[in-house]
Structure 1
Amino acid sequence: MKKLTMLPIASNLTGSLNFNQLSDLVGDFEWHTLDHSNWNESYPYKPQVKFKIGYTKNELLLRFDVAEEQLRGNYSDVNQNVWEDSCVEFFISFDDRKHYYNIEFNLIGTGLIGYGSPDKSTRNRLSAAEIETVQAFSMIERHSGTDKRWSMIQVIPLAVFKFDDTSDLKGKTIHGNFYKCGDNLKNPHFLSWNKIDNPTPNFHLPKFFGELVFG
């Protein structure tokens, strides 16, 4: 099981924010990579993906950097099938993986957030108003070459995790995983930070979450 430490961010993420300001706040933080192409025989294509994450008293700040051959951002309304687009995902559990939140955003900033147990019949989506409290800042680089590059920074209010007590997280260890997918891209792929040992693609397996420490 992988383990990472999320460092605190001194500034409060209030007022008018932009991509460059947020990037600077985590500029010295460690990059982590999505190394695991868990179903490589069926889905051999592997984009380059890395991320970094920090936190304040009231928010998580999560940045993804992606290099992939195709960009797709067809969905523009919350809770649509964003996993079919160029999509990055973050699953997080505060109760030792009994329940978890799945936070999924495509490259144009359209979000989907669900909550519940691994049994899909128990899972529910958050409301559009709740999902839209997550601020998503995207930057797409257009240049010649095989891969196209894009970055996303998400400011995730801890209030989104409404079924858990997030009032005092410093020093606590929780669980989560980070993903990149694109089900309807010409080369579908399913990458993860912590390895998933399952015969078919499935991110909804919290037993394969890694440890996240609020440093």
Structure 2
Amino acid sequence: MWRRIHLILWFIGLMLACKSEIYSQDKVLKVKEIKYSGQVGLVQVSQLLEKHVALEHVDLINWDKFSYHPEVAFRIAHSNNAIWLKYYVREKNILANVEETNGPVARDSCVEFFFDPLGDGNYYNFEFNCIGTIHLAYGPGREKRQFVDPKTIRNLIKVESSLGTQTFTEKTGDFTWEMTIIIPAGVLTHDSEIKLKGLKANGNFYKCGDATSQPHYLTWNPVGTERPDYHRPEFFGRLIFQ
């Protein structure tokens, strides 16, 4: 009897230790506030991010089968209850087939920002192919996504890519591209009263290209799954909005 209790306690302790080890890997990113009065456009946002915010890197390969490693970095800040985000990508293959909002942009050359504002497991998946086509949904997991209305997306989110807006088949070479994004809190339709300043949230940043010649899956915070799976909020890092 006591031996069984001892084994149970040992097993519980082992599980807690494993959980602690997983969460000890979580990154913490302080999202700086940039104060700006009046209307701000994508050009100004790009310049202000360059001036005031340090680079972060999306550089983790969690799955050995997908070893291709594009160079990916980003800067993030917030201002006037909007998230400012800029990605920098260098890769060998670029692809942009999807032009419809909420289409399967992850099949193209794609960067992503998954954002759990309340830290409760319900998150928004912001996905952008390399010409700025947006996919945005909300929910607690991969199978329970609710799309944000395409008109709301197009009216509220501003995005500009250095590759333009026209679709194209895959090109192979040595390509660099940048994307600047403004995400107002108003597009968080399931959290309409949220204030970014002082918010303690969870999130992760990704780079993928499912249908490219070299499929790849890079992350900012480690993801401890057997196969590539970005829809795992238990592996999000911490985002502290200053």
Q: TM-score, normalised by structure 2?
A: 0.81
* Cα RMSD after superposing both structures: 1.8
CA contact (8 A) 2:42 2:181 kept: no
CA contact (8 A) 1:75 1:85 kept: yes
What does residue 39 of structure 1 align with? 63
CA contact (8 A) 2:36 2:80 kept: no
Spell out, residue by residue over 1:104-157, the C-alpha distance to the aligned partner (whole angstroms, 9 max, x if none): 01011100001011151x21111111111211111149xxx9520000011011
CA contact (8 A) 1:49 1:65 kept: yes
Could you tell me how far apart the structure 2 residues matched to 1:106 and 1:85 are? 6
Could you tell me how far apart the structure 1 residues matched to 2:186 and 2:195 are? 13
1:58 Cα offset (Å):
2.6
Could you tell me how far apart the structure 2 residues matched to 1:18 and 1:209 are? 27
Q: 2:130 aligns with which of 99, 103, 107?
A: 107
What does residue 196 of structure 2 align with? 169
CA contact (8 A) 2:29 2:239 kept: yes
Could you tell me how far apart the structure 1 residues matched to 2:232 and 2:60 are? 15
Mapped pair 1:126 → 2:153: no
Q: 1:191 aligns with which of 179, 202, 218?
A: 218
TM-aligned CA distance change 1:81 to 1:13, over 3 Å: farther
Q: Which amino acid aligns with 2:91?
A: E
Runs of 4+ in 1 over 4 A off after TM superposition: none
Other structure's SS at 2:203 match? strand
What are the equivalent positions in structure 2 for 1:1-215 lying under 5 Å apart?
1-12=26-37, 14=39, 17-19=41-43, 21-27=44-50, 28-40=52-64, 42-118=65-141, 120=143, 122-132=144-154, 133-140=156-163, 146-215=173-242
Percent sequence identity is 35
| Structure 2: 5+ residue stretches without partners | 1-25, 165-171
Q: Which amino acid aligns with 1:103?
A: F
What does residue 11 of structure 2 align with? none
Other structure's SS at 2:234 match? helix
TM-aligned CA distance change 1:13 to 1:69, over 3 Å: farther
* Higher percent of residues as helix: 2
1:166 Cα offset (Å):
4.8
Other structure's SS at 1:43 match? coil
1:23 Cα offset (Å):
1.4
Q: TM-score, normalised by structure 1?
A: 0.91
Q: Which amino acid aligns with 1:105?
A: F
Could you tell me how far apart the structure 2 residues matched to 1:170 and 1:179 are? 24
Q: Which amino acid aligns with 2:150?
A: A
CA contact (8 A) 1:140 1:149 kept: no
Spell out, residue by residue over 1:66-116, the C-alpha distance to the aligned partner (whole angstroms, 9 max, x if none): 000011111111011100001000000122242000000101110000101
Could you tell me how far apart the structure 2 residues matched to 1:189 and 1:195 are? 15
Q: Which amino acid aligns with 2:27?
A: K
Spell out, residue by residue over 1:31-56, the C-alpha distance to the aligned partner (whole angstroms, 9 max, x if none): 0001211112x111010000010101
| Structure 1: 5+ residue stretches without partners | none
Spell out, residue by residue over 1:7-35, the C-alpha distance to the aligned partner (whole angstroms, 9 max, x if none): 112114726x243x221111220100012
What does residue 5 of structure 2 align with? none
Equivalences, count: 208
Other structure's SS at 2:106 match? helix
CA contact (8 A) 1:182 1:190 kept: yes
